[in-house]
Structure 1
Amino acid sequence: MTRVLLAVLLALGVTVVSGPPSSAGGHTVHVRDSARLQRALTEARAGDRIVVADGRYAIGAMKDRHGTAARPITVVAAHRGRAVVEDGQLEVANSSHVTFEGFTWTNRSTLLITGSNHVRLTRNHFRLTEESTLYWVLVQGADSHHNRIDHNLFEEKHQLGNFVVVEGSETEQSQHDRIDHNHFRNIGPRATNDMEAVRVGRSTISRSSGFTVVEANLFENCDGDPEIVTVKSNDNIVRYNTFRNSQGTLSHRHGDRGTLQGNFFLGGGKAGTGGIRLYGRDHKVYNNHFEGLTGTGYDAALQIDGGDVDVEGALNAHWRVYRAIVVNNTFVGNVSNIEIGANYPYPPIDCTIADNVVTGGQGKLFDERKTPVNSSYVGNIAWPTGTASVGVAQPVEAIRVVDPLLRREGPVHRIGAGSPAVDAARGGFAFVADDMDGQARVGTDVGADERSDAEVVRGPLEAGDVGPGSR
């Protein structure tokens, strides 16, 4: 650093530690008040590490700042959670390779990531102050891509708006973003619309592809909207998440080619809890576990819904389901399990329902509210008890009525020794390479669980597995 630049920074009140440099090869800048923080954001360079002391801050924009993969710009609380942003609005605009880490956010304005890439929000605590509709984190703008929102706690949202929204430009969604290892909790009371925990895309750009990954998040008591997570674009993945005691569903509301994989839906008997709802084309739904859910119709454990438009129509309509593949899922003790076509006039077409374990004590385990067109059942196991019935007449190779010998392990049921589900899958879907626990499929059992002695690498998430303090 030149003597002139050092003198200017010192005159502005910014404390600069120029030796040793940060691990990324820039400088470590210590700030202790809002004015100094803003100056540091405005002048940040690749490799800089801006360390924010304990205290309360107002914040403003960070524009046209660029780190690199090897030399990111890092803005970090000196002690996690003790640097509190209580006023102002952060917009990271036209920037790249920038990380904000360890802050508590209680301000009243949306955190914006605009036209930027490789921006990361990690290990923060969001509990914004709300007086009316407020979106807490919004990814937007043209040429937005590869941003990450991870290991944060979002809690206590009681006005309209979402915790996290991924949008983009007027024509295309932001691409290759990742939302992972966050804890979302306590959103409500129930609204008719616009209070999802996470929204990916929007109807007006729903024909674009996001390639967004929403994974390994915990949703608890997320009761704000009929859709806890809503997907409104093409080619996104929602996997390995846990939904506990949350009213509503994971809804693929618009768009095609979604992958909904390895999620745990645990209702705990709470009213209105649901699983997955589908519209659109060519979705894959596999390795999901649904247990203790009470919802029906829109909130069924799995709703392969009808559509109100078919091959053309308004972008905000409910598009007819084509070619959904629903395989290797497990349903236990739900009020309603697999429903087909509960709403809207056009029934699903060319769907495959294969190698699922469906058990329950009431209603129809397979409930065709509308008769699907040219759809097939293969290799499923149904076990109705109490007042339940299978619900559809199918040959034994399509739906076998037999006790799968499930046994409880913690909050879920897995297949036990001697289960007729072992090595009985008939679908032969190559993309089902492992099970809900992350264990390799060998022989392939029916349902979400593969009976195996291999290490369990995934499972239902708890609070300690996600959020700022997790690994």
Structure 2
Amino acid sequence: MNCPLAIGRAQILSLFACLLLPGAAQAAAPLSDVAAINKALENAKPGDTILIKNGVYADARIAIPTSGEKDKPIILAAETPGKVTFTGRSRIVLGGKSLHLTGMVFHKNIGGTAVEFKAAQHCRLSHTAFNESGDTKSVFAHMVEVGEGSADNRIDHCYLAKSLSMSIGTRTGALRIQIDHNWFQDIVSRSSNGQEAVQLLAFNEIDAPEHSLFATVEYNLFDGACGDEEILSVKSSGNLIRYNTFLGHPTHNKGGLNVRHGHNNRIDSNTFLRTDYGVRVSGSGNVVINNYIEGVRVGLRLAAGGTNGWAYLPCKDGVFANNTIVNAATGMDVALFFGMKDTKTGSSNLVNIYPSGNRIYNNILTAADPNQLVCDRAESLAAELNVKRDATANDYRNNIVFLTKDASEPIRMPEGFGGFTVADPKLGKGDGREKPQAGSPALGGGISVEQVKEDIRGRPRGAKPDIGCEEVSSIAAPKPHTLPLTAKDVGPDWMKGDSTCLEKDAGAEELKTLIRRYPSAEYRQRLRKVLDEAGQ
């Protein structure tokens, strides 16, 4: 992007696309003056569409204070999707009901929150790209923020890349946000903490009263979105997280899906490929089912809890069923953080509450190290800390474990653990995932689990389900879209799965800025030639 000569021909979309938007019949001529845009929004009626003229807008502040109606939203749209760019410290605030912001680009927009849902209800942000944006001063700021009093909003088909701070986040008092079909890409850590791709926050302290957010996060692609140890951070209850694909970063890999503290969350049918870990859980009543996890450092992590409401909630009364974990360094880690001391305050706080009441059924775990298929952090530390370790505190049934290298080596399981059978699950690649083949002991080897009605592809589970995330059957999968997602499945329609168009357009705009800035006729002529050759 810093090299003007790399610019190619950008795709140009017709203004006719705006006619596809609801209420487009009321659209007036595109506006380029920010004051005029704000005035038009103040006077907008349900069903109106306000168009912003193609171009670059620096430090723009736009607010939609009015409200549309359920079937007649007020729409703020780009003249041509992807051709309206906000930079600097621009911000757009959705402050009413039934509003829709669509088709914009935020490039190097470094003022913190770029789009804010401010007590907004039934509003939507769609088909918008955020590139190299966020907050340069704080990695904890939300680039897209769903604030207190906001309810029933949707963020979909957006592109969020190289974010400088948290990409999407909620605040206490928000409810029922839907986040779907978004593409998070190439987010590299700037600090040891912060910069999550998605933060579902409702209560920040683990001993605070429980707060249910009821968010739905589905069909998103987290493509190297590794800004934090928590790619998706859950600090709330009652959320549904399903059908997402998580990919590791090729050079700066870290993170996974973390229920940091929350209860009754459902983590269902997600795919993790080469992330640092799969799913980590603290809290009670969480359900983790049908997930496919391959090539990670740790597959499943069940956290121990801290004394006096410190550090972590213990993982309690959860269901971990029908997950497939392939080629992990560690398949499952029980009692994560056990023995950790409070070194910051010097108090007697200690992580010493063992996970309990969890049901671990019908999982496949494969790894190369015979000592790392299943680990229990408390096994060696309980006596030292004078804490009782109850190996029967959790219920393990019908799980298969297997070594991927030398299957003849004896597998060491934690003392007192039952419910794990050493057997070759006979996995073979199909549709981007490893699944049991003919003759596998996983076929029909599971037990019925109330929370698991279907598999990762939507096939029904019978009375004797297969072990692992996929029910091997001749029945056509009702949900083909639950295959590992690619860029073509997510993000703005106008990007067509190709993020390079953003770089090309941004490079062209930077050249145009140089042309306006420098008076040298020869220099401007050379730059103009580059733009002409690129069709700009």
Structure 2-normalised TM-score? 0.75
- 1-structure distance, mates of 2:24, 2:183: 33
Please name the residue that 1:209 is paired with: 212
Please name the residue that 2:485 is paired with: 461
- 2-structure distance, mates of 1:388, 1:461: 37
2:122 counterpart letter in structure 1: H
- 2-structure distance, mates of 1:406, 1:388: 20
Please name the residue that 1:8 is paired with: none
Equivalent in 223, 226, 230 of residue 229 of structure 2: 226
Q: Does 1:374 align with 2:393?
A: yes
**Would the alpha carbon gap of residues 60 and 425 (structure 1) be closer, same or farther in structure 2, given more than 3 Å must change?**
same
**Would the alpha carbon gap of residues 180 and 313 (structure 1) be closer, same or farther in structure 2, given more than 3 Å must change?**
same
- 1-structure distance, mates of 2:323, 2:177: 27
Please name the residue that 1:401 is paired with: 422
Q: Report the alpha carbon displacement of residue 90 of structure 1 after superposing the two structures with TM.
A: 3.0
Equivalent in 121, 125, 146 of residue 121 of structure 1: 125
Equivalent in 227, 234, 239 of residue 242 of structure 2: 239
Residues 160-179 of structure 1 deviation map (CA, whole Å, 9 limit, x = unaligned): x20000113xxxx3111011
Q: Report the alpha carbon displacement of residue 87 of structure 1 after superposing the two structures with TM.
A: 4.4
- 2-structure distance, mates of 1:313, 1:38: 47
**Would the alpha carbon gap of residues 41 and 90 (structure 1) be closer, same or farther in structure 2, given more than 3 Å must change?**
farther
Please say if residues 303 and 313 of structure 2, whose CA atoms lie closer than 8 Å, have aligned partners that are also in contact.
no
Please name the residue that 2:403 is paired with: 384
Please say if residues 350 and 373 of structure 1, whose CA atoms lie closer than 8 Å, have aligned partners that are also in contact.
no
Please name the residue that 2:110 is paired with: 108
Q: Does 1:66 align with 2:85?
A: no
Q: Report the alpha carbon displacement of residue 419 of structure 1 after superposing the two structures with TM.
A: 1.6
Please name the residue that 1:52 is paired with: 52
SS of equivalent to 2:186: strand
Q: After the TM superposition, which residues 11-26 of structure 1 pair with which residues of structure 2 at under 5 Å, given as runs?
A: 23-24=22-23
- 2-structure distance, mates of 1:276, 1:467: 24
- 2-structure distance, mates of 1:26, 1:153: 28
SS of equivalent to 1:37: helix
Equivalent in 314, 317, 320 of residue 320 of structure 1: 314
- 1-structure distance, mates of 2:353, 2:20: 63
Please name the residue that 1:304 is paired with: 302
**Would the alpha carbon gap of residues 285 and 22 (structure 1) be closer, same or farther in structure 2, given more than 3 Å must change?**
closer
**Would the alpha carbon gap of residues 63 and 104 (structure 1) be closer, same or farther in structure 2, given more than 3 Å must change?**
closer
- 2-structure distance, mates of 1:410, 1:191: 36
Please name the residue that 1:450 is paired with: 471
Q: Report the alpha carbon displacement of residue 403 of structure 1 after superposing the two structures with TM.
A: 1.1
Please say if residues 219 and 242 of structure 1, whose CA atoms lie closer than 8 Å, have aligned partners that are also in contact.
yes
Q: Report the alpha carbon displacement of residue 196 of structure 1 after superposing the two structures with TM.
A: 0.9
Q: Report the alpha carbon displacement of residue 89 of structure 1 after superposing the two structures with TM.
A: 3.5
Please name the residue that 2:332 is paired with: 338
Please say if residues 50 and 75 of structure 1, whose CA atoms lie closer than 8 Å, have aligned partners that are also in contact.
yes
Please say if residues 383 and 390 of structure 1, whose CA atoms lie closer than 8 Å, have aligned partners that are also in contact.
no
SS of equivalent to 1:441: coil
- 1-structure distance, mates of 2:24, 2:126: 21
Structure with more contact order per residue of length (Cα contacts < 8 Å, sep ≥ 6): 2
- 2-structure distance, mates of 1:389, 1:164: 42
- 2-structure distance, mates of 1:244, 1:220: 5
Q: After the TM superposition, which residues 162-311 of structure 1 pair with which residues of structure 2 at under 5 Å, given as runs?
A: 162-168=166-172, 173-189=173-189, 191-201=191-201, 202-204=203-205, 207-246=210-249, 247-267=254-274, 273-293=276-296, 295=297, 300-309=298-307
**Would the alpha carbon gap of residues 21 and 325 (structure 1) be closer, same or farther in structure 2, given more than 3 Å must change?**
closer
- 1-structure distance, mates of 2:190, 2:322: 32
Q: Which has the higher helix share?
A: 2
Please name the residue that 1:3 is paired with: none
Please say if residues 22 and 47 of structure 1, whose CA atoms lie closer than 8 Å, have aligned partners that are also in contact.
no
Q: Does 1:144 align with 2:150?
A: yes
- 2-structure distance, mates of 1:355, 1:455: 22
Please say if residues 334 and 375 of structure 2, whose CA atoms lie closer than 8 Å, have aligned partners that are also in contact.
yes
2:397 counterpart letter in structure 1: V
Please name the residue that 1:6 is paired with: none
- 2-structure distance, mates of 1:105, 1:63: 18
**Would the alpha carbon gap of residues 117 and 422 (structure 1) be closer, same or farther in structure 2, given more than 3 Å must change?**
same
Q: Does 1:365 align with 2:335?
A: no
Please say if residues 47 and 72 of structure 1, whose CA atoms lie closer than 8 Å, have aligned partners that are also in contact.
yes
- 2-structure distance, mates of 1:189, 1:94: 32
SS of equivalent to 2:309: coil
SS of equivalent to 1:117: coil
Q: Report the alpha carbon displacement of residue 222 of structure 1 after superposing the two structures with TM.
A: 1.9
1:252 counterpart letter in structure 2: V
RMSD, matched Cα: 2.4
Question: Which sections of structure 2, spanning at least 5 residues, go unmatched?
Answer: 1-18, 338-350, 379-388, 498-536
2:175 counterpart letter in structure 1: Q
- 1-structure distance, mates of 2:20, 2:454: 45
SS of equivalent to 1:29: coil
Please say if residues 444 and 465 of structure 2, whose CA atoms lie closer than 8 Å, have aligned partners that are also in contact.
yes
Q: Report the alpha carbon displacement of residue 115 of structure 1 after superposing the two structures with TM.
A: 0.7
- 1-structure distance, mates of 2:80, 2:486: 24
Please say if residues 360 and 388 of structure 1, whose CA atoms lie closer than 8 Å, have aligned partners that are also in contact.
no
2:375 counterpart letter in structure 1: D
Please say if residues 38 and 64 of structure 2, whose CA atoms lie closer than 8 Å, have aligned partners that are also in contact.
no
| Identity value in percent | 28
Please name the residue that 2:461 is paired with: 441
Q: Report the alpha carbon displacement of residue 364 of structure 1 after superposing the two structures with TM.
A: 2.5
Q: Report the alpha carbon displacement of residue 420 of structure 1 after superposing the two structures with TM.
A: 1.5
Q: Report the alpha carbon displacement of residue 91 of structure 1 after superposing the two structures with TM.
A: 4.2
Question: Which sections of structure 1, spanning at least 5 residues, go unmatched?
Answer: 1-19
Equivalent in 436, 444, 467 of residue 415 of structure 1: 436
Which of structures 1 and 2 has the bigger CA Rg?
A: 2
